[in-house]
Amino acid sequence: MSDHQLVAACLKGERTAQKQLYAQHAEKMLGVCYRYTKSMTDAEDVLQEGFIKVFKNLHQFKFEGDIGAWIRRIMVNTAINFLKSNSKYQAELSFTDTTLHPVSNDDPEVTLNTKDLAQLIRQLPPGYQTIFNMHAVEGFSHVEIGKMLGINEGTSRSQYARARGLLITWIKRFSGESKTETYARP
């Protein structure tokens, strides 16, 4: 069954199609949710809330493009809303320039595997991590990020640059140290 046939079956209320759509996308979308949260439990909560939105709004899917991309966008928006509304993230979800560190333009000459890089990204403060994921991983423009987070485009750009600079610093350290070390946040 193609993705479009699967969506059509879901819209008709066919439970097996709904289960299949969930099964096909849940694992990948859990990874998306986990990139924005600090625990697997929170990521699972975001995933469940996201899929509730997917099935509630499936009628809005226009059958243009990939259903996975449409679901991914819902998951990212759900994760961002979760961060904004969850008190344990609000204190650290800051988009001001008051605590930012200098940006490095040095490019590290280090090869990391995806898991190691993801681990470093997860150690960024939530504000940096959110913007870095939205821009570098999800491909949102700084204008889009600004609208989604309620910040200006310049703040998004500076937060991304500083996140990138911090990651470069960590990657340089990472190349000479244990891969399991946790790096101090700014």
Tell me the per-residue pLDDT of 30-39, one tens digit each, with 9 for 90 and over.
999 998 888 8
Using one digit for the tens of pLDDT, what is the confidence trace for 73-89?
999 999 999 988 886 66
Which class is 92-186 in CATH? Answer: mainly alpha
Query: What local confidence, expressed as pLDDT, does residue 92 receive?
Result: 54
Cα angle 40, 46, 47; round to 5: 85
pTM of the model: 0.70
- CATH code for the domain defined by 3-90: 1.10.1740.10
